[in-house]
């Protein structure tokens, strides 16, 4: 099956710093990638939809200047959390879509901001 990787799998950073998370589709090309955030015991929250070569589409309430998304190629999308604060601590998950009915999730990145 298709494989999606995320790096890093976990990261601890200090408040005010920026963190970049990479999402790669390893054996397929993904025209669309999604970024989710999940707080403990809550549902997955879609943050943004990323299409290769174009600007990401952010969901309502998600600050695009704080969560920078770059989809530079058909196999790579990055999410940068800028000026991170403790409330940004969460589980960030990406997924890559091959076609409408077929998308694969990365293993997730646990971010802790101290």
Partner 1 sequence: GQNIDQPTEMTATEGAIVQINCTYQTSGFNGLFWYQQHAGEAPTFLSYNVLDGLEEKGRFSSFLSRSKGYSYLLLKELQMKDSASYLCAPMDSNYQLIWGAGTKLIIKP
Residues contributing to the site for partner 1 (CB under 8 A): 41-46, 91, 93, 100-101, 103-108, 110
Q: In whole angstroms, how close is the CB of 95 to partner 1 at the nearest point?
A: 8
Minimum CB separation of residue 90 from partner 1 in Å reads 12
Query: Smallest distance, Å, CB 29 to partner 1?
Result: 18
- The rounded distance, in Å, linking the Cα atoms of 111 and 43 is 17
Given the complex with partner 1, which of 3 and 15 has the nearer CB atom? Answer: 3
Instruction: State in angstroms the smallest separation of the CB of 16 from partner 1.
Output: 26
CB 3 within 8 A of CB 106: no
Instruction: Give 60's strand partners.
Output: none
Q: The tokens 């005010």 sit on which residue?
A: 16
Instruction: Report the C-alpha gap between 50 and 47 in whole angstroms.
Output: 10
Cβ proximity to partner 1: between 57 and 82 the closer is 57
Task: Calculate the CA 109 to chain-centre distance.
Answer: 8
Q: How many other C-beta atoms can be found within 10 angstroms of the C-beta atom of residue 7?
A: 14
Residue number with CB closer to partner 1 (42 or 83) = 42
Residue 3 vs 18, nearer CB to partner 1: 3
């Amino acid at each position: 099956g298709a494989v999606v990787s995320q790096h890093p799998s976990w990261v601890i950073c200090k408040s005010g710093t920026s963190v970049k998370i990479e999402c790669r589709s390893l054996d397929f090309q993904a025209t669309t990638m999604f970024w989710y955030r999940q707080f403990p015991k809550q549902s997955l929250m879609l943050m943004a939809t990323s299409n290769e070569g174009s600007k990401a589409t952010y969901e309502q309430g998600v600050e695009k200047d704080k969560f920078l998304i770059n989809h530079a190629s058909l196999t790579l999308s990055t999410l940068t959390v800028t000026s991170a604060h403790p409330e940004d601590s969460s589980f960030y998950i990406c997924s890559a879509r091959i076609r409408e009915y077929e998308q694969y999730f990365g293993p997730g990145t646990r971010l802790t901001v101290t």
